[in-house]
Amino acid sequence: MKVLMSGNEAIARGAYEWGIRFGVGYPGTPSTEILEEFSKYDGVYAEWAPNEKVGLEVGIGAAVAGARALVTMKHVGVNVAADPLFTVSYTGTNGALVIITQLPERTGQPQLCKIRQDTHARTGRQPRGEGIHKDRL
């Protein structure tokens, strides 16, 4: 069956089908619709954050606890969330963290940044989490 949906609806559906059940974001066009659509699926938890930094920190907390987490924000919000973004990039998570930022409407192109636990490649340690496996997508 074919379903006609917007790009933001497709991103939310893809996240859900990949197994993400935790979503957090800071509202701001055009990324607002992703979390709104994601929240409509059964068995998910979604919330708005007071700002991008807090949203990313909440998403990181879920991913450290082992969840697959989604964080949405506008592209300029990455500046606000820079501190926790840089930290998680070298500390890693036990679950998965997907960060989606979008440029203004005129381009309409979502920018996807997937952070996964891979510190063992740089430190020689084994990863704490299960990582991302093809059979679980």
pLDDT at position 118 over 90: no
What is the CATH architecture of 7-118? 3-Layer(aba) Sandwich (3.40)
Residue pair 69/20 in contact (Cβ under 8 Å)? The answer is: yes
Q: What is the pTM of this model?
A: 0.74
Provide the pLDDT for residue 64: 96
Residue pair 24/46 in contact (Cβ under 8 Å)? The answer is: yes
Structural domain spans, the chain: 7-118
pLDDT tens per residue, range 74-114:
888 889 999 999 999 999 999 999 999 876 655 555 555 55
Grade residue 1 by pLDDT with cuts at 50, 70 and 90.
Answer: confident
List the structure tokens of 12: 């939310």
Give the pairing type, strands 96-102 and 110-116: antiparallel
Provide the pLDDT for residue 88: 94
